[in-house]
Amino acid sequence: MQPNTLLDAILDEAGISHAGLAARVNQAGRKRGLALRYEHTAVARWLKGQRPRGQVPDLICEVLSARLRRPVTLDDIGLGVPGEPPAPHGTSLSGFVERATALWRSDEQRRPHILGAPTLSGTSAVMPVWEWENPPEDTDVSRGGPRPVTAGDIAMLRAARTHYEQMYRRAGGIATRSRVVGFLNAEAAPLLRGSYGDATGRRLHRATGALVAIAGICAYDSDAHGLAQRYFHQALRLAKASGDRGLGAYVVALLVNQSLFLQEYRQAVAFAETALRAADRHITPALASDLYAMQAKAYARLGDGTNARAGIHRAERAAERIRRGHEPDETGYVQPGLVNVQAAEALLSLGELEAAQEHAKAAVDTPAHERGRVHRLALLSTIELRRGNADKAAAAAKRMAEQARGMESQRLRDRLRAVREQLVRSGCSGTAEAAEMIDGALRVPL
């Protein structure tokens, strides 16, 4: 069930509370001879995605039209197809833009039905990827709006993406998300509704899609997986509108990573294969190496050692072809040593501890951004402990705790807790100090 962000947005525009809408719908129903007894709890269910029965959608339009003094249609309130939930991407690019910006607005206002949105599964999870890969394409993305979009506007969006990505790496997704979502509402939404030709529009949708992907990453890092998934789906639709297959493949890679976390391993394999196939020559060596490596991890978790090792080999070969300065900004996360991290995790799942240790050590010895160093040290600590090297595990855990201090990231906190539990369970001498340091890092409030 998809949250109805359009209804949420128009209620806020009209200045009507949940209880107020329920009362007005009851009153409008009485004029039609209907005995309705809706309360604010019913409106809350509608906002979560439940479709009102019978004539109620029409009554909602009637109430809002009178309040706003303009016609309000079923499409305007996210109830355009009787008996079905609102389509995730709308019936047109302009319809998608309205749905997307309504979600940004609801997120910025911390609406509970958005923050707690469940993850999509089955067809709902797969369809956005299928729609990205397959026709029809957007033949013309031009739009007439109140203000012209300039090259400077697009440059601003690109600079913002870089800024928020760096903030995420330093401070974590919890601290960054409210800022990037605020920027989307204040700056990106008016531009999408602006005036632009096809060429400018494609650059605009590309820049916005890359920024929306950062919002998704921050939501993922905040443990809001349903919301993160919806941001990734939005970014994928914007990538399709831009015509940039490489950007779309990058967004699919984010979905692959989330699928791994959610233990949807077969979906991770399929999504990675889709990105590699659909982007084809548009995919860069850095992105290809990450997709192959994540496939390897998924195969390893499925117990398929043959395909896991083949994926590691393909990832290593792709990584050898990376040329810094010839990659798009989005693949900057594929830093030296990342393939070693992914390979170590895959080999750890297969129980090949010696090979996993070699890759983990190589990753730790390679420079990385702050967030990457925490994950690399956590992985090394886990492997060392599994190999019976408690002292080395404790040393890596101490470095990890020092590096993680001040980062507001639910994913990093989960990683720290996992390492701490492993150290404590080992019962080895020398691990107590490391566990205490991790406790200190975890005491920093989020």
The parent domain of residue 18 ranges over 5-86
Residue from 171, 183, 328 nearest 246 by CA: 328
111 lies in the same domain as 77: no
Q: Calculate the average pLDDT of the chain.
A: 92
Under 8 Å between Cβ of 272 and 256: yes
Q: How high is the pLDDT of residue 12?
A: 84
Average pLDDT of the segment spanning 43-67: 92
pLDDT at 85 over 80: no
115 lies in the same domain as 221: yes
Query: What residue has token string 């900004």?
Result: 329
Q: DSSP string spanning 340-382? A: HHHHHHHHHHHT-HHHHHHHHHHHHTS---HHHHHHHHHHHHH
96 lies in the same domain as 217: yes
Residue 423 domain flag:
yes
Give the pLDDT confidence of 88-120 residue by residue, as tens digits: 444 589 889 988 999 999 999 898 888 888 999
Under 8 Å between Cβ of 199 and 165: no
Give the pLDDT confidence of 361-394 residue by residue, as tens digits: 999 999 988 899 999 999 999 999 999 999 999 9
Residue 253 domain flag:
no
How long a stretch of residues is the chain?
Answer: 446
271 lies in the same domain as 349: yes
Q: How high is the pLDDT of residue 81?
A: 61
Residue 79 domain flag:
yes
pLDDT at 74 over 80: yes
Residue 351 domain flag:
yes
pLDDT at 446 over 80: no
Q: Point out the domain boundary residue: 335, 363, 391.
A: 363
Residue 56 domain flag:
yes
Task: Name every residue whose Cβ is closer than 8 Å to that of residue 440 and which is 6 or more positions away in sequence.
Answer: 401, 405
pTM of the shown model: 0.85
pLDDT at 87 over 60: no
Q: How high is the pLDDT of residue 428?
A: 76
Confidence of residue 80 (pLDDT cuts 50, 70, 90): confident
Higher pLDDT, 80 or 304: 304
pLDDT at 338 over 90: yes
Average pLDDT of the segment spanning 237-251: 97
Q: How high is the pLDDT of residue 331?
A: 95
275 lies in the same domain as 341: yes
377 lies in the same domain as 235: no
Q: How high is the pLDDT of residue 84?
A: 46
Compute the distance between CA of residue 56 and CA of residue 408 in angstroms, rounded to an integer: 43
Confidence of residue 444 (pLDDT cuts 50, 70, 90): low
Residue 23 domain flag:
yes
27 lies in the same domain as 163: no
Q: Point out the domain boundary residue: 86, 120, 152.
A: 86
Residue 254 domain flag:
no
pLDDT at 445 over 80: no
118 lies in the same domain as 174: yes
Residue 438 domain flag:
yes
Give the pLDDT confidence of 272-299 residue by residue, as tens digits: 999 999 998 899 999 999 999 999 999 9
194 lies in the same domain as 316: no
Compute the distance between CA of residue 381 and CA of residue 396 in angstroms, rounded to an integer: 5
222 lies in the same domain as 119: yes
Compute the distance between CA of residue 146 and CA of residue 163 in angstroms, rounded to an integer: 28
Residue 270 DSSP label: H
269 lies in the same domain as 286: yes
Q: Point out the domain boundary residue: 70, 86, 102.
A: 86
Q: How high is the pLDDT of residue 40?
A: 93
Domains identified in the chain, total number: 4
Q: How high is the pLDDT of residue 36?
A: 93
Confidence of residue 13 (pLDDT cuts 50, 70, 90): confident
Under 8 Å between Cβ of 271 and 252: yes
185 lies in the same domain as 237: yes
